[in-house]
Structure 1
Amino acid sequence: MHMLLKRFAGRLTLTLSMVVLESAGWLLFPLVIGRAIDGVLGGSTRGLYELAGLGIGTIFIAIGRRVVDSRAYAGIYVRLGEEMVASAAERSTSTRTARLGMLREIVEFFEHSLPQLITSTIGLAGTIVILSTLNVPVFLGCVAVAVATGILYALTGKLTTRYNEGLNDEHERQVDAVDSGDPVRLGKHLRAMTRWNIRLSDLEAGTFGINWVFMMGLLVFAVGVSAQRTVEYGAVFAIVMYVFQFVESLMALPFYYQQWLRLREISGRLARVGAEAGAPA
């Protein structure tokens, strides 16, 4: 993955810069809506014009980014796919097919998941900064929940990597198992894949459930504190919306962390192919 960032730095810089601009636009919506509400209640329409301008600017950036992304990442996938197949020419068809699919996962991560990851990260950091100016107790509650979530997923990271390694081993055997025509061998392969998928799913469900308890506690605390300590209706609305945005961003980050762990394991496999063949992976 580091190799991909280095080789295609120009294309990725353009697309990711547009992601940052788009994310900043979405981040400002609760604050601008809250100002618009207070402005209308005070007899001013300036906030409504600001909201309209923010909406139009953000959507234009979002459309432009998606148009650029589809073309940039299609070219990256074609080039890397050609190089990977050539460098793994001595490998079995099953392994080459599986690794081409794994390469597609990496490119799709950069095209789809990385922009969402950046959006969630900016949303998380931005909401914490804004909440620190709007309501200090809610801000401290968000920091505490973020730390607890980080510890939870750090403790399960090695287990996630081990399960992904086992699943990817089975993916590389799939075409050979199907091509063998042996029902016993194919059944054994499918049961093994199912076991790894179930282990990953159970681990994800458990960590998600624990994390959701943290989030619900934060939501209840934030609504109670903001209603007691804030006078302006628009400000209360903005605080609650930012807490929702914080929760949404924080719940999404572990998914991308787990996906990154899987893709790191895949990248290691593809890099080994290139190293063995003396060509880029």
Structure 2
Amino acid sequence: MRALLKRFAGRFALTMSLVVLEAAGWILFPLFIGRAIDSVLADSTRGLYEFGALALATMLIAIVRRLVDSRAYAKIYVGLGEEMVGGDEESDTSTRTARLAMLREIVEFFENSLPALVNSLIGLAGTVLILWLLNVPVFLGCLVVAVATVTLYALTGRLTTRYNEGFNDQYERQVDAVHSGDPRRLREHLRAMMRWNIRLSDLEAANFGINWVFMTGLLVFAVAAAAEQTLEYGAVFAIVMYVFQFVESMLGIPLYYQQWLRLREISGRLAGVGVEAGVEVGASA
């Protein structure tokens, strides 16, 4: 991961700067909505204008970031793809084709998932900080749930990696299975791939279900605590909205962790075929 970031440092610096600005805007939404509510209740429109200005600024930053990302990462994929195929002369066509698709997964992670992950992490940190200032019991409840979520996914990390390894082993045989023209061989290959995919999906569903139980308990507690300790309607609304943001982040971030485990396994396959400096996720992360 570090090697790829170092090689394309300039492009990453630009895109990540825009991601941080966009994330900062989204963090402030509940707070500004709460201020707008209290402003209207006090017969003032100032809060509405402040919220409108924040929404427009955040939207413009988000649009510019997406325009920059699509062009920057397209160049990265083309360059790394040429290096990988040119430097992997010993592997057969099936393996090289599969690895080219895997390389695309890594680039797409940086283009789509990494900005969303950074957004979620910044949002999570900002949300917890603001909740600490607004309502300490809710803040402590969020910390307890965060520890429970981290523990859950740490315990299942090795199993996720093993399932991804089995899936990728089978994926590298795909072109040969198609090229063979043998319906039986192709059917067996597709069934094998789907078995690994089902195992990954079942594990993800189980983790998500358990995590959602944690989040449901937090939401119920937060609504009760906010209503009991806060008098202003806008402040209560802001607290509940921030808890929703926290829940959204804590449900989404583990999915990025699972994706990172998959990319770490993929990077081991791509190392040594001409793009070591660009895709060694596991060795340098």
TM-score over 0.5 for the pair: yes
Provide the rounded CA distance (Å) in 2 between the counterparts of 1:227 and 1:147: 25
Q: Residue in 2 aligned with 1:54?
A: 54
Say which SS state the counterpart of residue 202 (structure 1) adopts: helix
Matched ranges for 1:117-266 at <5 A: 117-266=117-266
- Output one character per residue of 1:46-68: Cα deviation in whole Å (capped at 9) or x when no partner: 21121111111111111110111
TM-score, normalised to structure 1, is 0.96
- Letter of the 1:269 partner, please give it: R
Q: How many residues align?
A: 279
Provide the rounded CA distance (Å) in 2 between the counterparts of 1:269 and 1:5: 19
Q: Residue in 1 aligned with 2:274?
A: 274
Q: Residue in 1 aligned with 2:282?
A: none
Q: What's the CA shift for 1:280?
A: 6.6
- Letter of the 1:18 partner, please give it: L
Provide the rounded CA distance (Å) in 1 between the counterparts of 2:77 and 2:215: 38
Provide the rounded CA distance (Å) in 1 between the counterparts of 2:205 and 2:261: 17
Q: Is the 8 A contact 1:27 1:126 kept in 2?
A: yes
Say which SS state the counterpart of residue 246 (structure 1) adopts: helix
- Output one character per residue of 1:126-173: Cα deviation in whole Å (capped at 9) or x when no partner: 110000000000000001000000000000001000100110111100
- Output one character per residue of 1:174-203: Cα deviation in whole Å (capped at 9) or x when no partner: 001111122232222112111101110110
Q: Is the 8 A contact 2:7 2:277 kept in 1?
A: no
Q: Is the 8 A contact 1:94 1:175 kept in 2?
A: yes
RMSD: 1.4
Provide the rounded CA distance (Å) in 1 between the counterparts of 2:94 and 2:83: 17
- Letter of the 1:16 partner, please give it: M
**Percentage of matched positions with identical amino acids:** 74
Q: Residue in 2 aligned with 1:89?
A: 89
- Letter of the 1:165 partner, please give it: E
Q: Residue in 1 aligned with 2:99?
A: 99
- Letter of the 2:70 partner, please give it: S
- Letter of the 2:150 partner, please give it: G
Q: What's the CA shift for 1:279?
A: 8.4
Provide the rounded CA distance (Å) in 2 between the counterparts of 1:131 and 1:177: 55
Q: Is the 8 A contact 1:26 1:58 kept in 2?
A: yes
Q: Is the 8 A contact 1:87 1:279 kept in 2?
A: no
Provide the rounded CA distance (Å) in 1 between the counterparts of 2:135 and 2:208: 27
Provide the rounded CA distance (Å) in 2 between the counterparts of 1:133 and 1:242: 12
Q: Residue in 1 aligned with 2:9?
A: 9
Say which SS state the counterpart of residue 242 (structure 2) adopts: helix
Provide the rounded CA distance (Å) in 1 between the counterparts of 2:68 and 2:188: 44
Provide the rounded CA distance (Å) in 2 between the counterparts of 1:46 and 1:117: 33
Provide the rounded CA distance (Å) in 1 between the counterparts of 2:272 and 2:148: 36
- Letter of the 2:178 partner, please give it: V
Q: Is the 8 A contact 2:23 2:119 kept in 1?
A: yes
Provide the rounded CA distance (Å) in 1 between the counterparts of 2:186 and 2:213: 41
- Output one character per residue of 1:4-47: Cα deviation in whole Å (capped at 9) or x when no partner: 11110100110011001001101100001101111121222221
Q: Is the 8 A contact 1:29 1:51 kept in 2?
A: yes
Q: What's the CA shift for 1:90?
A: 2.2
Provide the rounded CA distance (Å) in 2 between the counterparts of 1:238 and 1:87: 54
Matched ranges for 1:56-71 at <5 A: 56-71=56-71
Q: What's the CA shift for 1:272?
A: 3.2
- Letter of the 2:146 partner, please give it: A
- Output one character per residue of 1:72-105: Cα deviation in whole Å (capped at 9) or x when no partner: 0010010000000001122100001000000000
Distance 1:251 1:279, change over 3 A: closer
- Output one character per residue of 1:233-255: Cα deviation in whole Å (capped at 9) or x when no partner: 00000000000011011100011
Say which SS state the counterpart of residue 90 (structure 1) adopts: coil
Q: Residue in 1 aligned with 2:24?
A: 24
TM-score, normalised to structure 2, is 0.95
